[in-house]
């Protein structure tokens, strides 16, 4: 799809690799913010379900501790991703480029 407007990105889907190739700044920022929100929400839901189920499991103490440790590491990774994406959003917002 080709647009004559300066503010509308030309967007197409490459069927071979399955990705969209062009996106406007505002839409990119929106999708980046949505990604961090979704990630934090999913980790919270999974962590709560697992923590609630662990007391009823027959897993060994070492396994339970490993699961809880893995959940904590995942939270930390998610937080670092959130910080990186926040910096990326800030950089994109300040930039002059409108199509990515």
Q: Tens of pLDDT along 47-70? A: 899 989 988 999 999 999 999 999
Structure tokens given for 11: 């967007």
Assess whether pLDDT exceeds 70 at residue 3.
Answer: no
pLDDT for 18 equals 61
Q: What is the DSSP string of 1-25?
A: ---SSTTS----EETTTTEE---BH
Position 23 scores a pLDDT of 84
pTM of the model: 0.64
The lowest-confidence range among 15-19, 29-33, 64-68 is 15-19
């Amino acid at each position: 799809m080709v647009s004559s407007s300066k503010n509308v990105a030309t967007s197409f889907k490459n069927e071979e690799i399955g990705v969209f190739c062009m996106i406007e700044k505002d839409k990119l920022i929106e999708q980046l913010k949505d990604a961090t929100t979704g990630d934090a929400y999913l980790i919270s839901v999974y962590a709560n379900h697992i923590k609630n189920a662990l007391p009823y499991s027959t897993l060994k103490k070492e396994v339970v501790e490993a699961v809880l440790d893995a959940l904590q590491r995942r939270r930390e990774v998610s937080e670092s991703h959130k910080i990186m994406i926040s910096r990326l959003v800030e950089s994109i917002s300040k930039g002059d480029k409108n199509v990515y």
